[in-house]
A and B are shown apart, each in its own frame.
Chain A
Amino acid sequence: MNGILRYSVGFFILIVLQLLIFNNIEFSGYINPYIYVMFILILPVAIPSWVLLLLSFMTGFVIDLFSGTMGVHAFATVMAGFVRPWALSLNISAEAAEPEMSPSSYRNGLRWFLIYTIAVVMVHHLALFFVEHFSFRSFGHTLLRVILSTAATTFFIVLFDFIRSRR
């Protein structure tokens, strides 16, 4: 119960940060951090995959609702939720994998968390930017947006994870 409350608060904070602050950030039209993906990243390791997918969809849907981009974020977050189990298993050490644990750099090491975050965020941003653009015209331009934004999003997520762990 306590866990559900904690994740709900985290969800609320991330959505508000995204809508009020990060949606207003962009540098030179290339970098748009979407830090709300962090919610999908920090859900417990042992969460059933169907719950993960439904929560991912809900996250994207809420963002869509408030930024007027019906379905675009939902599509990207479901994609992220789908690849998360695979990204988790990339190189997680067996003794660290407690089922209730939330993935973090504090417990799993910065290097692992970085790879895990980049993998999921990259998939999310690829889906998001290409669906938003809805064509493969100016492919290079969109790809550059994906790569730069992934770097920015990853930076902020690692930063927030650091703050989260210090508490």
Chain B
Amino acid sequence: MRSLLNFLLRYKTLILFLILEAVALVMISSSHNYHQTVLYGAARNISGFFARGLEKSTSYFRLRQVNDELVAENLELKRRLEAAASVPKETFVEVSDTVSGINYTYLNARVINNSVNKQKNFFTLDMGSRHGVSNGMGVASQAGVVGVVVGVSRNYSVAMSLLNTEFRLSASIARNDYFGSLAWDGLNYRYARLSEIPHHVAANEGDTIVTSGYSEIFPAGIMVGVLSGEQRRGGDFVTLKVLLSADFKKLTNVYLIGNLTKDERNNLETGVVR
């Protein structure tokens, strides 16, 4: 007993060091659900407050770029409106249910904190549960897909960036609809990898990559990026390098995409596929 005590006293620094490192490692390994912890929720509200102040003062310098984006988007929406108006009516019944036929809802949010330099990047949005944001909503900028919401507090929400090595997106080649899994390899923030594409699929440099619509998060056809031409063959599939269309270093205005019929779809899928 005495020698044990002596031992502990003698190596108290080393023992404390090992204990603290073990605590840190446990914290890291359980970080998958850290978004739910109360402590982190409180810290997020405080840091969100500061980040919003900082963003307010720096956003002024990006006004021109934001304006250009909005003009481009307006133009695109006008074109779609035109196309929709010219479709001949097929029904004679007027439906007053405004939710009928709508699958996705969109919210407009502002990025108030962002990073591209880590392996697991997240960004903070200035909208929370108070504004109708919930976990699992997709986030896209005017240029393309940027992430998915993983944590919500009352006034803020945190989204896992596409630039997070844990992020997976079902994406397809727009030209021929072959789909694969898109993920970031943690190296260059401009590029991601589209894997699980079969060998026989013709994929050329410059082909557009869009969301496949197979997940319940993003509707089909949202821009993701273009093929850079570089590819790696191995096994049964080809991995393609994708130049992301969204520039994560200047994210400002983004859209939150909510799926209104998500629960219905989930229930059906889990009910049938056991």
Q: Tell me the A residues contacting B by CB distance below 8 Å.
A: 19-20, 23-24, 26, 29, 32, 49-50, 53-54, 56-57, 60, 64-72, 74-75, 78-79, 82, 131-134, 138, 141
Contact = CB atoms under 8 A, between A and B. Distances in A.
7 contacts: A24-B54, A54-B20, A68-B40, A69-B31, A70-B30, A70-B40, A75-B24
A64 B122 CA distance: 13
B201 interface: no
Contacts of B218: none
Given A131-B28, A138-B186, A29 B46 contact: no
B195 to A, nearest CB: 15
Contacts of A133: 119, 186
B79 interface: no
A29 B120 contact: no
Contacts of B39: 65
Interface string B184-222: 011111000000000000000000000000000000000
A71 B24 contact: yes
Given A20-B50, A53-B20, A54-B16, 19 more contacts: A19-B50, A29-B117, A50-B12, A50-B13, A54-B20, A57-B20, A57-B24, A69-B120, A70-B31, A70-B34, A71-B26, A72-B28, A75-B25, A78-B17, A78-B21, A82-B13, A82-B17, A138-B187, A141-B187
A43 to B, nearest CB: 15
B12 A71 contact: no
Interface residues of B, number: 37
Contact of B44 (A20, A54, A68, A141): A68
Nearest to B185: A138
Interface in B112-167: 115-120, 122, 158
A65 B119 contact: no
A54 B118 CA distance: 26
Given A70-B31, A74-B24, A53 B115 contact: no
Contacts of B50: 19-20
A85 B262 CA distance: 56
Nearest to A26: B117
Contact of B116 (A26, A66, A68, A131): A26
B107 interface: no
Contacts of B118: 69, 132
Nearest to A133: B119
A53 B47 contact: no
B16 A32 contact: no
Nearest to B21: A78
A134 B119 contact: yes
Contacts of A138: 185-187
Given A29-B189, A70-B31, A134-B119, A50 B16 contact: yes
A65 B42 CA distance: 9
Contacts of B122: 68
B27 interface: yes
A75 B31 contact: no
B40 A65 contact: yes
B47 A66 contact: yes
B119 A60 contact: no
Nearest to B124: A68
Which 8 A-B pairs rank lowest in CB-CB distance, beginning with the nearest? Answer: A71-B27, A71-B28, A75-B24, A26-B117, A70-B31, A74-B24, A49-B13, A65-B43
B18 to A, nearest CB: 10
Contacts of B27: 64, 70-71, 74
B70 interface: no
Contacts of B260: none
Given A70-B31, A79-B21, A132-B120, A23 B115 contact: yes
Contacts of A65: 39-40, 43
Contacts of B16: 50, 53-54
A54 B19 CA distance: 11
Contacts of B189: 29
